[in-house]
């Protein structure tokens, strides 16, 4: 199939209709009326995203500052490595959300991507914030060097990086669809072994400030994953010529490859951490992959992992429906409005 490159969407083009004629490669004036968009239910997604607003320095790190030195050497090492990993996910995601927006010819997608990009920027900031609370500048810098130097992390990120950069070089519809697949993996699977490490600390009453922050990031990523999966499905439905067995097999292959790399990474970084069972973690990773495939309109590939094998994790995110007390009780969540839009995906 020839790779036709897409033009970047026009910023304002009054000759085009306000309601977009296509998500990518379509026409729209650039004027956004949320009551006249091609996919009306995306307004709810936008509202949920905006409703999750938070900032890094709202999280109180004072008990973490005291506790960090009391962690085991293995826990401290994993803590720094996992923050290093998370920074390699949120940094490219800030920019990829922008790049997708530049080619999206639907102004509702542009606005949603703007909010996602803003949240990824906050996630990045939060890693600097927590590290600066608990370790010296030298150790902070070392943690942020891991994405450039750690061979297991580099291997794990290699395919994501290749696809994200391919989209920059060649903004074809095919590369947009493949980038959405990797974005779904990132938002819906790549973060989660890292999140689990912090929740495991929290259930042992360790580093609760960091885990609170991680749970806010987690909540954002679940919403991002949900939107990206919808965007993927809608884009594929608009371009049935791309919905070929070859492409669908590519998606399954890359999901399976990503799961294997994620299991390898988690076995490496969590090997000596008390309280995490690596087989259970592998099952959790497969469960997350299944979940993303399902919301992308595809079939699950791990039939034995349709249920969450790490049920204890749910306690750390399920309390975001606005009706219960924040599990961590770190701060009042004044930004979160209780509304019927604030439903929450289970992990």
Q: Kindly list the residues in this chain that would bind Zn ion in the complex (CB under 5 A).
A: 90, 120, 123, 187, 221, 224
What is the closest distance, in whole angstroms, from the C-beta atom of residue 59 to Zn ion in the complex? 15
Q: For Zn ion, give the closer residue by CB, 127 or 302.
A: 127
Q: How far is the CB of 162 from Zn ion (least distance, A)?
A: 20
Among 79, 103, 127, 129, the one annotated catalytic: 127
Instruction: Pick between residue 81 and residue 283 the one whose CB is nearest to Zn ion.
Output: 81
Whichever of 196 and 282 has its CB closer to Zn ion, that residue is: 196
CB nearer Zn ion, residue 75 or residue 187: 187
Q: How far is the CB of 346 from Zn ion (least distance, A)?
A: 18
Q: Is 302 a catalytic residue?
A: no
Closest approach, Cβ 187 to Zn ion, in A, equals 5
For residue 117, the minimal CB distance to Zn ion (Å) is: 9
Burial 235-249 (b: 16+ CB within 10 A, else e): bbebbeebeeeebee
Based on CB atoms, which residue is closest to Zn ion, 144 or 302? 144
Tokens of 290: 């299944």
Active site residues: 127
């Amino acid at each position: 199939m020839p790779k036709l490159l897409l033009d970047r969407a026009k910023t304002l083009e009054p000759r085009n209709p306000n309601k977009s004629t296509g998500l990518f490669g379509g026409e729209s004036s650039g004027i956004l009326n949320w009551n006249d968009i091609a996919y009306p239910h995306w307004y709810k997604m936008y509202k949920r995203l905006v409703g999750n607003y938070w900032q890094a320095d709202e999280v109180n790190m004072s008990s973490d500052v005291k506790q960090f030195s009391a962690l085991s050497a293995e826990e401290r090492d994993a803590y720094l490595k996992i923050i290093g990993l998370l920074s390699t996910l949120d940094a490219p995601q800030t920019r990829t959300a922008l790049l997708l927006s530049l080619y999206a010819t639907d102004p509702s997608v542009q606005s949603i991507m703007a909010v996602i990009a803003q949240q990824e920027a906050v996630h990045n900031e939060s890693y600097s914030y927590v590290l600066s609370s608990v370790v010296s500048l030298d150790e902070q810098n070392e943690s942020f060097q891991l994405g450039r130097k750690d061979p297991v992390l580099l291997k794990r990120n290699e395919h994501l990086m290749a696809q994200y950069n391919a989209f920059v070089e060649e903004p074809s519809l095919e590369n947009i669809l493949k980038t959405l697949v990797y974005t779904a993996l990132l938002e819906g699977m790549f973060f989660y072994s890292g999140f689990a490490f912090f929740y495991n600390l929290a259930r042992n009453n360790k580093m609760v400030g960091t885990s609170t922050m991680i749970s806010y990031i987690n909540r954002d990523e679940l919403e991002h994953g949900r939107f990206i999966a919808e965007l993927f499905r809608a884009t594929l439905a608009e371009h049935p010529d791309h919905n070929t067995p070859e492409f669908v097999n590519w998606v399954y292959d890359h999901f399976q490859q990503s799961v294997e790399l994620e299991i390898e990474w988690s076995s490496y970084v969590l090997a000596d951490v008390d309280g995490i069972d690596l087989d259970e973690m592998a099952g959790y990773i497969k469960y997350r992959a299944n979940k993303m495939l399902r919301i992308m309109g595809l079939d699950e590939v791990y039939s034995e992992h349709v249920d969450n094998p790490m049920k204890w994790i749910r306690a750390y995110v399920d309390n975001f429906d606005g009706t219960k007390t924040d599990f961590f009780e770190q701060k009042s969540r004044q930004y979160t409005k209780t509304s019927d839009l604030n439903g929450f995906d289970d992990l």
